[in-house]
Amino acid sequence: MSGHDPYAPESGDPSFDVDSYDVEIDYRVRTNRLEGRATLNAVAAIAVSAVSVDLVGLRATRVRVDGDRRTRFSQGPRKLRVTLPHRLQPGERFSIEIVYAGAPAPRRSRWGTIGWEELEDGALVASQPTGAPTWLPCNDRPDARAPMRLSVTTDAGYLPVLTGRPTGTTTAGGRVTVTSESTVPVATYLVAVHVGPYEQTALEGGEGVRVFAPAELRRDVTRAFADVPRMLALFDDSFGPYPQEACTLVVTPDELEIPLEAQGLAVFGSNHLVPDEQRLIAHELAHQWFGNSVGIGRWQDIWLNEGFACFAEWLWFERSGAASVAEKAAKHHARLRALTQDLVLSDPGPDLMFDDRVYKRGALTLYALRCAVGAAVFTRVLHEWVATYRHALATTDDFRALAARVAGRDLDDVFTPWLDRVELPPLPRP
């Protein structure tokens, strides 16, 4: 058991872990009404008599532990407090069934408004880092990954697109239900539901890739995602086989500020279907290896997600002939050098954990490693990293140790200046 994450201390309950989720949702687009039932199959991490479940903006109407109708519970603005039938010892298993409803809306956080968001014609989920409780009762910790079954029912004319491997689509009473399953462990911030007037669009050469978009965007989507098979092939070579059970891309009719990735899934706005945004497609695909398979258990290690995905952009630029990795590194090093030097990459703090400097300095750290050990050894490091921590949690110290083992030498001279010091190191030489 780990404690509360210091970057998000109000989220999650370290006294228990979830073994699996089973979630059923009925969502009405026109009225923004969500009714749900979630079952959390859990295990006590310590001796405990009551647990807290994260739930924001929606009201629980029934709670049962192991089917007990006498289960007592109380709800505040962020937490659902559930009294267990008796004091559980570490390792004892129990299940919590929660029936809940309301009008889902984003929650306010230090990182902006996050969670379930209404679109002009549908809805999407943007949960990172603490938005999942706006639609899903959960133990919202980055280290608390679990398999999940999802079932979402919505209005005729709309289609839910879900995290996980699709297991069925049915229509009854003029409404559509889509089910999916994630048998690999998934963090709650990486679970998503996107609802819109979507149709599945074929992607030439994209075997196994599912693309969903409004019919009127089909041509633009086909053009924008034409290189996705080549991106996936590059990343397969660079990192190892694609690690997820699904590869699903969604395009909303709305414009979005940024794309958003989830487990085996990414959503883009209609404004991202232009050539200048190609790097964002590569970035979100790379997260399926870095962040969604190799996961972080604490937010301070966010560079392991974002720095790696940013470096993957540079690999794609080089493969597509737009610019070499060295050119991208030099360009972004110059930009970072002109900015304030007040960030420690290995522990940037909650206010800066999504700062663009984390992304670019993280990518430059990998570039410095590649310059120090050579391209062949560097590729071995990435393959070992992805294979060793496949669907598991890793830390910055884990990466330092693995890279040193693969390289066969101590690498503190590389990592310490980039990860642990404020001052930006000089641009590495290839």
Tell whether 148 and 194 lie within a shared domain.
Answer: yes
Whether 118 is covered by a domain: the verdict is yes
User: What is the three-class DSSP state of 394?
Assistant: strand
Predicted pLDDT of residue 2: 63
Whether 49 is covered by a domain: the verdict is no
Question: What are the residues facing 60 on neighbouring strands?
Answer: 100
Residue 46 half-sphere exposure toward CB, CA atoms < 13 A:
9
Reported as type and span, the H/E element at residue 224 is: helix 218-224
Whether 152 is covered by a domain: the verdict is yes
CATH classification of the domain holding 105: 3.30.2010.30
Identify the domain containing residue 165 by its residue range. 22-35+101-289
Using CA atoms, how far apart are residues 332 and 346, in angstroms rounded to an integer?
A: 19
Whether 306 is covered by a domain: the verdict is yes
Averaged pLDDT, groups of 10, the chain, 430 residues long: 86 98 98 98 98 98 97 98 97 98 97 96 97 98 97 97 97 96 98 97 89 96 96 98 97 95 97 92 98 98 98 98 97 97 97 97 98 98 98 98 98 98 95
Using CA atoms, how far apart are residues 66 and 45, in angstroms rounded to an integer?
A: 17
Chain centroid to Cα 158, Å, comes to 24
Closest listed residue to residue 267, CA positions, set 193, 171, 324: 193
Pick the last residue of a domain from 289, 304, 325.
289
Tell whether 161 and 216 lie within a shared domain.
Answer: yes
Count the domains in the chain: 2
Take residue 429 and report the two structure tokens written for it.
Answer: 């030489």
Take residue 395 and report the two structure tokens written for it.
Answer: 């830390």
Using CA atoms, how far apart are residues 78 and 399, in angstroms rounded to an integer?
A: 34
Tell whether 253 and 331 lie within a shared domain.
Answer: no
Whether 305 is covered by a domain: the verdict is yes
Tell whether 134 and 228 lie within a shared domain.
Answer: yes
Whether 52 is covered by a domain: the verdict is no
Predicted pLDDT of residue 1: 46
Tell whether 280 and 385 lie within a shared domain.
Answer: no
Tell whether 145 and 265 lie within a shared domain.
Answer: yes
Whether 126 is covered by a domain: the verdict is yes
Tell whether 273 and 409 lie within a shared domain.
Answer: no
CATH classification of the domain holding 337: 1.10.390.10
Tell whether 363 and 312 lie within a shared domain.
Answer: yes
Whether 51 is covered by a domain: the verdict is no
* Residue range 95-118, pLDDT digits in tens: 999 999 999 999 999 999 999 999
Tell whether 268 and 358 lie within a shared domain.
Answer: no
Rg (CA), the chain: 22
Pick the last residue of a domain from 239, 272, 289.
289
Tell whether 306 and 278 lie within a shared domain.
Answer: no
Predicted pLDDT of residue 30: 96
Tell whether 299 and 274 lie within a shared domain.
Answer: no
Pick the last residue of a domain from 239, 257, 289.
289
* Residue range 22-72, pLDDT digits in tens: 999 999 999 999 999 999 999 999 999 999 999 999 999 999 999 999 999
Take residue 273 and report the two structure tokens written for it.
Answer: 């279907």
Tell whether 273 and 322 lie within a shared domain.
Answer: no
